[in-house]
Structure 1
């Protein structure tokens, strides 16, 4: 990994800066690749520092509503989560969801995934009521968009089942858990 990091940072990133300039989408992409390497190595602080710069670059290049910028916000959110900065991560999850809804619409798979990520955040903070409301909506959207037998629909039943279980609503939890597991066969 260290060798890969050096190749990316010196050969690719520096070369792109020289050829296309500092504020170019290709330079931002190469810089984002470097953050992925750092993140994979568990160097979350270093990744976060660079992710902030990538996000600033992409906001300048594309503005806030471009898919690359939204992706960069999500990437920074992952670093915040890994660093235990849950409040900041949650704020970014909300931001990503708002942007995805606005740009892609409520029924786009990326929007639905962003909703599920926010529900997961609420669940991990033991905010089960908020998690349940979003998880129900996510499951409804997945059923509508993908159908009952799609693997993503089945996968969404599990978090909702767990939320019901943690809220002591076993009569709702058990059937969802069974349906989710049967959908995997």
Structure 2
């Protein structure tokens, strides 16, 4: 039940996941006790569901309980205790309490450096988490510094084609994009696309995500036609392989719609956004932030279209 809840949560079916976890947690508490690993796993996953539902105060409260129980049963120096603290850091970050979040991330990074050294996967993961915190704050230089170390470290520890190495490289490419370093962004993202295409194929979600990022770079560089062709080809390939409702396909459609909007091709943008909205409406809770964001974008386009008609 706990594993199934994890899957449904990742699919965006948060209410269903919550119901499963509440049932599992009730049994685990009764049969196994509060300090049992199964109970704590259910609590951790439930906190993740609350996080995805934007019920952040509930997520924080539950995650702090998990940390306290891990502290008691495993001790302050156990890796599972550190991991749950990083989960709390993610919640605090989403609450906007960035300084509290980064204090935890820096503490865990320091502990992992001392225990494992800098060139260890867990240390590099902690550094990647710290980079993510900088990304939320749009501290691009600080994020870049962390990501360069993570990419170099993961290439050495895991190899240049390891999925985690490619994830960090993708993040670094996106960082360069946000800084307007388009040549550097294009170079690294083309490498990631090439590696992911070789390993997974063009229609794999990770490859599509990299193509999506590369298209954004090309668009902002001024290569709008090339970016559009790349996105359309990616969407077409994704639909053939995985169908219209594939998450990666919808993400590409959404970014292409935003390109069209900035290009002032409002009609084309609305068609794509409507497709994305209808697909997400069928899959996500009605109050899911991703669904509400697309609805707001459609509304904004409608207002701009109406203004255009009035002006004419």
Per the TM alignment, residue 160 of structure 1 is displaced from its structure 2 partner at its CA by 1.3
CA RMSD for the aligned pairs? 2.1
Residues 133-142 or 28-37, more deviating: 28-37
Per the alignment, residue 21 of structure 2 pairs with: 5
Residues 168-177 or 133-142, more deviating: 168-177
CA separation of 1:130 and 1:2: change in aligned 2, threshold 3 A: closer
Q: Provide the TM-score with structure 1 as the length reference.
A: 0.83
Higher relative CO (CA 8 A, sep ≥ 6), structure 1 or 2? 1
Q: Which runs of 5+ in 2 are unaligned?
A: 1-16, 198-312
Tell me the alpha carbon deviations over residues 76-129 of structure 1, each in whole angstroms, 9 at most, x when there is no partner. 122223333322222222222222222332222122121111112112212111
Q: Provide the TM-score with structure 2 as the length reference.
A: 0.52
Match of 2:32 among 12, 16, 19: 16
CA distance in 1, matches of 2:160, 2:44: 37
CA distance in 2, matches of 1:129, 1:105: 24
CA separation of 1:16 and 1:151: change in aligned 2, threshold 3 A: closer
The answer to whether the 8 Å contact 1:31/1:50 transfers is no
CA separation of 1:3 and 1:164: change in aligned 2, threshold 3 A: closer
Per the alignment, residue 58 of structure 1 pairs with: 70
CA distance in 2, matches of 1:31, 1:93: 21
CA distance in 1, matches of 2:94, 2:191: 31
Residues 148-157 or 67-76, more deviating: 148-157
Residues 42-51 or 68-77, more deviating: 42-51
- Match of 1:184, SS state, is helix
Per the alignment, residue 92 of structure 1 pairs with: 104
Match of 2:45 among 31, 36, 49: 36
Per the TM alignment, residue 32 of structure 1 is displaced from its structure 2 partner at its CA by 4.1
- Higher-Rg member (1/2): 2
| 1:152 counterpart = 2:168 | no
Q: Which runs of 5+ in 1 are unaligned?
A: none
Residues 126-135 or 169-178, more deviating: 169-178
| 1:113 counterpart = 2:125 | yes
